Structure 1
Amino acid sequence: MIREHATRVLLVEDQQLIRRGLAMLLATTDGVDVVAEAEDGLGALDVLSTTTPDVVLTDARMPRMDGVELTARCTRDHPGLPVLVLTTFDDDALVQAVLTAGASGFLLKDTSVEELGMALHAVVEGGMVIDPRVARAAVQRKRTVDGPLAILTRRERVVAELVAQGLTNADIAARLVLAEGTVKNHVSALLRKLDERDRTSLALTLYKALGD
């Protein structure tokens, strides 16, 4: 897939050696550019006040502000900015906390550089990436969230709300300042994830779910 520009990454990691190592490895990854670094969540929020990355790549457990709280703050204050959590910890409670906070992905630190690069691109494009080794916890979280919309990404949820209002793809594209083709891809994902055959039934399902 041809990208117009490199994926701009804010790297957040409290251990300097690991942070520098990740930055060096990502520098060798095609289409990835580490534009800023921070040693914890508070530092990352300071960076976000002056820098506009495409994605935040963060550790989960850090002093002052951890990755869970950082994810929640990004979800609230920087909607549309995906957060990918990269950590050595794989306990179910952490996975569920991170995803509940709004993370777009969760990977373990022994993942390959190639897989990490692909994951960064995927979440920027609106996808969700979960390490297969922690997928069980992710599924358990989905089952505990009420309604059919729990499986949607943040961007899909925003599009879903506009589809429920009856807006066309062109209207949604104009509202969200997106290419119409991007909106079409999101709608296709909604149809697939919610197992609906056409846009009318999709809109009805979404209207009902969002109205509950």
Structure 2
Amino acid sequence: MTVREDAAKTDTVRLLLVDDHAILRQGLRTVLDAESDLEVVGEAAHADEALAAAAHLRPDVALLDLKLSASSEHEGLEVCRRLARAYPTMGLLVLTTFLDDHLVVDAVHAGARGYVIKDVDTTELVRAIRAVARGESAFDSRSAAAVVRSLNGPSDDRGRLTERELEVLRLLANGLSNNKIGAQLFISATTVKFHVSNIMRKLGVSRRAEAVYAASKGGLI
């Protein structure tokens, strides 16, 4: 092997993809392997696979979804925490559909160097991966705003609902189930459940009916 080839190999960022959806992992692999300095060396669908793959492959960067099973909304946070403790030099980048101030901050506290939403374009995702590989932080504009809000001090986020949460809340007020709300918004029932949980937390209630009542009283719907 020549010096040039050896240097190229050393400069390659080795990636581990952790997501419970095989089709998404396949898509990511296709996109990322097309970059000359990125190489997907492993995939994992759940927490145990992720931990085992990280121990065996020692990737430079792990891309982590937060939801890795139907039984847990944020299992990826615990995986992130365990990887950060075991491999301090490994870059951890959260790639998820969920955007919530608390989740972004929790991910940072768990050891993530970056947080991007899955609808980010390819260029921005690749840029984030490279930044994390260099030991830098990488957040898309929405996640960065959440970090800034957290740095400005604790605040009461009751009533500060996202546009998606307001959509879910309006359908909730019409008496629709999670499945029917998901069908109308083209999202899964599990994602609807996640939004409903956030809505109740922000409104300071513990039941769906109370959320509707509080939102109506507060002029949100």
| TM-score (normalised: structure 1) | 0.63
Matched residue SS, 2:93: strand
Aligned residues: 144
Aligned to 1:71: 80
Superposed CA RMSD: 1.9
Aligned to 1:29: 35
Aligned to 2:45: 39
CA distance, structure 2, for counterparts of residue 122 and residue 134 of structure 1: 15
CA distance, structure 2, for counterparts of residue 81 and residue 43 of structure 1: 17
Mapped pair 1:129 → 2:144 = no
Is the 1:61–1:67 contact (alpha carbons within 8 Å) kept by the matching residues of 2?
yes
Mapped pair 1:57 → 2:66 = no
Q: Give the counterpart letter for 1:104 in structure 2.
A: R
Aligned to 1:202: none
* Per-residue deviation, residues 35-57 of structure 1 (Å, max 9, x unmatched): 00000222110112211110101
Alignment of 1:193-212 (within 5 A): none
Is the 1:29–1:113 contact (alpha carbons within 8 Å) kept by the matching residues of 2?
no
Q: Give the counterpart letter for 1:34 in structure 2.
A: V
Alignment of 1:74-89 (within 5 A): 74-89=83-98
Q: Give the counterpart letter for 2:14 in structure 1.
A: R
| TM-score (normalised: structure 2) | 0.61
Aligned to 2:183: none
CA distance, structure 1, for counterparts of residue 150 and residue 47 of structure 2: 24
* Per-residue deviation, residues 166-211 of structure 1 (Å, max 9, x unmatched): xxxxxxxxxxxxxxxxxxxxxxxxxxxxxxxxxxxxxxxxxxxxxx
- 2:147 alignment partner, one of 138, 143, 163: 138
CA distance, structure 2, for counterparts of residue 8 and residue 109 of structure 1: 20
Is the 1:29–1:114 contact (alpha carbons within 8 Å) kept by the matching residues of 2?
no
Seen in structure 2, the aligned counterparts of structure 1 residues 99 and 13 have a Cα distance that, compared at 3 Å, is same
Aligned to 1:101: 110
Is the 1:26–1:117 contact (alpha carbons within 8 Å) kept by the matching residues of 2?
yes
Is the 1:10–1:55 contact (alpha carbons within 8 Å) kept by the matching residues of 2?
yes
CA distance, structure 2, for counterparts of residue 88 and residue 110 of structure 1: 8
Matched residue SS, 2:40: strand
Q: Give the counterpart letter for 2:47 in structure 1.
A: G
Is the 2:13–2:38 contact (alpha carbons within 8 Å) kept by the matching residues of 1?
yes
Q: CA deviation at 1:140?
A: 3.1
Q: CA deviation at 1:61?
A: 1.3
Matched residue SS, 1:93: helix
Is the 2:116–2:140 contact (alpha carbons within 8 Å) kept by the matching residues of 1?
yes
Higher Cα Rg, which structure? 2
Seen in structure 2, the aligned counterparts of structure 1 residues 42 and 141 have a Cα distance that, compared at 3 Å, is farther
CA distance, structure 2, for counterparts of residue 82 and residue 41 of structure 1: 17
